[in-house]
Amino acid sequence: MTVFVGEVVKGKFIPDSPSEFGLAYCEHEGKRVVVNIGRYHQKRSNAQNKYFWAVPIKLISAKTGYTPEQAHDAIVNELHYELCNGKNGQAIKVPKPTRNLTTVEFMELIAKIQHWADEFFEGLYIPSPNESGYEI
């Protein structure tokens, strides 16, 4: 399935890539199709991702001796998961990928990481992006 982003103007969908949209639209001539409409939310930015790996992950990695990947996994397992039903109806934690976060959700995760690091590592300070020289 191809996803197209655009804007609704005066009741009409105006795709960001009109020619690609037109080609995809024509490919389905005479066929039943599914159209999903929802509010567009920008995914986390490259700058946010760079900050994430360069600041919180690096500091937690240094504090714990974990590799950056292990520190990432520990954060996701501890702070960014959903509860699902396991065997016998027990709730289990299932890590959620950070790559699908919106820019706002990503900043909420950073705030959780900062609070968690301060408590769990007894004062480990994770500077915010604007404090660390990373503009996001």
Q: Which of helix, strand or coil describes residue 72? A: helix
Question: What is the pLDDT, as a whole number, of residue 11?
Answer: 92
pLDDT of residue 99: 84
Give the model's pLDDT for residue 12: 92
- Give the E-state strand segments of 1-136 in sequence order: 6-9, 12-15, 81-85, 91-95
8 A C-beta contact, residue 57 and residue 68? yes
Spell out the per-residue pLDDT of the chain, length 136, in tens: 788 889 999 999 999 999 998 888 898 899 998 888 888 778 888 999 999 999 999 999 999 999 999 999 999 888 988 788 878 888 888 888 888 888 888 999 999 999 999 999 999 999 998 887 776 6
**pLDDT at residue 135, rounded to an integer:** 67
pLDDT score of 42: 81
Q: pTM, whole model, 2 decimals?
A: 0.66
What's the rounded Cα separation, in Å, for the pair 57 and 72? 6
Q: Please report, for the chain, the start and end positions of each structural domain, with discontinuous segments joined by +.
A: 1-40, 46-132
How many Cα atoms are found within 13 Å in the side-chain-facing hemisphere of 108? 8
What SS3 state is found at 17? coil
